[in-house]
Amino acid sequence: MTAMAELPAQPSSLRERKKARTRAAIRQHALRLFMAQGYTETTVEQISEAAEVSPATFFRYFPTKEDVVLQDDFDIVALAVMEAQPPELGPIAAFRAAAATVANMQLRPEDAEIFAATTYLTFSVPEVRARALDELARTSDQISAAIARRVGASPDDFEVRNMAGAIIGVIMAATMPWDMSQPPDFYVMFDRIDAGLAHLEAGLPLPGYGPSAASSG
């Protein structure tokens, strides 16, 4: 099994904890309303009322309604765990270990439901799907920076950004082919992501192709 590290500590100050609770409450109520009555039918005012905050407070935490779906803590936590992996692990192995750590050691059942709901909304709601392109660019920058620190390179190097793009592509391939009539099963989805990262780490071999296939032909 790939080596894993402990997750980073939770926010320590009272102010940080309060902000984290407010952000989580807004997001939890928003996703509940989206799934119950539809994304388009749910307004920022309804979300704010359910979370007991003002619309102005909502926008301090989430610039747009789409960001409530797209901006979660998974990337932040996963990349922090990735950076804590042993230095002898390659970037893909370190990212795979981080994803496994978050999925298997820290998520509560309600967290799994939230992650499944956000995946469903991202691919089923056109407005969210369009906004997701901006988030993909941001995530690519974050993964590139983490890879660069691990290998001692620049985050702008082509090879670094190419590897970051490959990781994102594998995750998209593992999560996109779902029946959009209902949210995907979180744990099945993460098994697919892990399998995809393992395939990437092996060099993306295809059955029936490559040197071994040619030698046996």
- All domains in the chain, ordered by first residue: 13-62 (1.10.10.60), 64-201 (1.10.357.10)
The pLDDT value given to residue 101: 84
The pLDDT value given to residue 7: 41
The pLDDT value given to residue 180: 62
Residue with tokens 């793009």: 165
The pLDDT value given to residue 141: 93
The pLDDT value given to residue 130: 86
pLDDT tens column, 88-133? 999 999 999 988 887 776 556 677 778 778 888 888 899 998 888 8
Q: What is the CA radius of gyration of the chain?
A: 19
CA separation, residue 23 to residues 68, 182, 187 (Å): 9, 25, 25
CA separation, residue 52 to residues 44, 45, 61, 100, 198 (Å): 12, 10, 14, 34, 44
Residue with tokens 């995750």: 171
Please tell me the distance from the alpha carbon of residue 18 to that of residue 21, in angstroms, as a whole number.
5
Q: Which residues of the chain have pLDDT under 50?
A: 1-9
The pLDDT value given to residue 178: 61
The pLDDT value given to residue 17: 82
The pLDDT value given to residue 24: 87
The pLDDT value given to residue 149: 94
Query: Please, what is the end-to-end C-alpha distance for the chain in angstroms?
Result: 34
Please tell me the distance from the alpha carbon of residue 141 to that of residue 147, in angstroms, as a whole number.
10
Please tell me the distance from the alpha carbon of residue 84 to that of residue 120, in angstroms, as a whole number.
30
